[in-house]
Amino acid sequence: MPIILIGIITSIVTFFQNPSMITGLLAVAFILILFATYFARTYALKAQDRAARAEEKLRYFIMAGKSFPNEMTMSQILALRFASDEEYLLLVQRAITEKLSADDIKKSVKNWRADNHRI
C-alpha cells in the first residue's frame, strides 16, 4: 500500500511538472489500483466480521437456548469471541446491562480463547 501511494504521488507531481498523456494515465492507473486494493481489503474484513458474528450467534444459541440479543454492537460481538464458554453468557449479559465497550469486554475475559483463524 505505501508503494502504491508513493507511485500515485510521484505520478501526480510528474504530471503537473510535465503534463503528458502517459503521466496522466499512470496517475489514473495508480489511483484505480489504490481503490481496488482498498475495496478488496475492506470486503475481506467485512466478510470475516459477518462470519464471526454468525459464529457468536450460534455459540450463544447453543449455550443459552435462545436467540442472540440485538443490543450488541459488532465490536462487542467481536470482543466476545475471546471469552471461554464458562464466562461467555455472563459477559454477554454484562455487556448489555453495563454497556461495556469492546476493550472492557476483553479486559473482563479471565480465560482467554485465541482466535487463530482471523486473517
Phi-psi region of 65 (alpha: psi -120 to 50; beta: other; left: phi over 0): left
Each residue of 65-116: pLDDT tens digit?
A: 999 999 999 999 999 988 998 999 999 999 999 999 999 999 999 988 877 7
10 Å CB burial of residue 35 (0-12, 13-18, 19+) is exposed
Q: What is the pLDDT of residue 38?
A: 85
Q: What is the pLDDT of residue 103?
A: 92
Q: What is the pTM of this model?
A: 0.67
What 3-state DSSP class applies to 68?
Answer: coil
- Is the confidence at residue 5, as pLDDT, over 90? no
Q: Are 76 and 102 in contact (CB under 8 A)?
A: yes
Q: What is the pLDDT of residue 45?
A: 87
Percentage above 70 pLDDT, the chain: 93
Residue owning grid cell 499512470: 26
Q: What is the pLDDT of residue 1?
A: 62
